[in-house]
Structure 1
Amino acid sequence: MFAKYLEQYEIGETWTSKGRTITEADLVNFSSFSGDWFPLHTDKEYAAKTSFKQRIAHGMSVLSIATGLILLEPGIVEAFYGMDHVRFTNPTFIGDTLHLEMSVCNIQEKDNGKGIVSTEMEIKKQTGETVAVAVVKMLVNKSKG
């Protein structure tokens, strides 16, 4: 998605990522890294008694994995600018395969040959259900030519 210079984007253009399957190791590693050992993510017996009936991936891990699925071209992308309107709409379970569907919703020119490309991002699983939504913003360079 972010492999073009600022002036090459158009409002409404779309992009779909490759898939990535969530594993038990993802939950354990994210818990270790973040310190978030909430039992809904880490305790099979606890999670079985919840409305989800099983462990679910941390919402923040889903967002982190999503950022790894975004195509980012060095030299074109200056930096991650931020996220707005984040919502988790369905659970992500161990074994779910996630992909992104993104659509350009705003282009804002900034100083110094850069601008912000905003995209509406849906994180979807193999069933077609959306598990999270957000507006993702990248600081993107203009071409030098």
Structure 2
Amino acid sequence: MEITRYFEDIEIGESRTTFGRTITETDFVTHAGHTGDFFPHHMDAVFMADSEFGQRIAHGTMVFAIGIGLTATVINPVAFSYGYDRLRFVRPVFIGDTIRTRVTAARKEDDPKRADHGRLFEKVEVLNQDDRTVLACEHIYIIQKRGAA
């Protein structure tokens, strides 16, 4: 779906929440293969059985990738991602957990590099099935201003 929303159209506090996605063992194996991260925390059930978690924990980078991917449902042709700040892995994610992502417009400012654009800072929260935050970060968008169109 494509929806054109200019910088001025975004209201601070507006929020959206994605559908859920259940994390599987296949996700663990695929992510380890993609990244080369075969640490026992993610791949060795026996090693983790005696840990404080009692089981394997998901790669933080996998939770980030899936959580952000869940938000990619609308294309705004006048906006693009500038990156992510303040990334934190707040709680572990386990095989069988279902995550979803809530994105909230937190603040806006003029873009110091592009007079015809602004920056939108979104609060991103990846939540588990118990509505507990497992990952938090800030997403920065560059969005064209209406007068520049």
Counterpart-to-counterpart distance in 1, 2:117 and 2:89: 31
Partner of 1:34: 35
Describe the superposition over 1:107-139 as per-residue Cα deviations: whole angstroms up to 9, x where unpaired.
122225322211111110111111011111122
Aligned length: 143
2-structure distance, mates of 1:134, 1:59: 12
- Partner amino acid, structure 1, of 2:42: H
Residue 74 of structure 1 deviates from its aligned partner by 4.7
Displacement after TM superposition at 1:72 (Å): 4.0
Equivalent-residue separation in structure 1 for 2:58 and 2:70 (angstroms): 16
Deviation string for 1:59-93 (max 9, x for gaps)? 01111111111134151332x21212211111101
CA distance in 1 between counterparts of 2:21 and 2:115 reads 36
Q: Counterpart of 2:117?
A: 114
Residue matched to 1:102: 103
Q: In the alignment, which of 76, 79, 93 is matched to residue 78 of structure 2?
A: 76
Gaps of 5+ in 2: none
Q: Distance in 1 between matches of 2:57 and 2:142?
A: 32
- Equivalent positions of 1:41-60 (< 5 A) are 41-60=42-61
TM-score, length of structure 1 as denominator length: 0.89
| Contact 2:68–2:101 (8 Å) recurs in 1 | no
Tell me: CA distance 1:72–1:116, structure 2 relative to 1, closer, same or farther (3 Å): farther
Normalised to the residue count of structure 2, the TM-score between the two structures is 0.87
Q: Following TM superposition, by how much is the alpha carbon of 1:25 offset from its aligned partner in structure 2, in angstroms?
A: 0.8
Structure 1: runs of 5 or more not aligned: none
**Structure 1 vs Structure 2: percent identity of aligned residues?**
35
Matches within 5 A, 1:57-68: 57-68=58-69
Distance 1:76 1:17 in 2: 22
SS at match of 2:61: helix
When the two chains are superposed, the root-mean-square deviation of aligned CA atoms in Å is 1.8
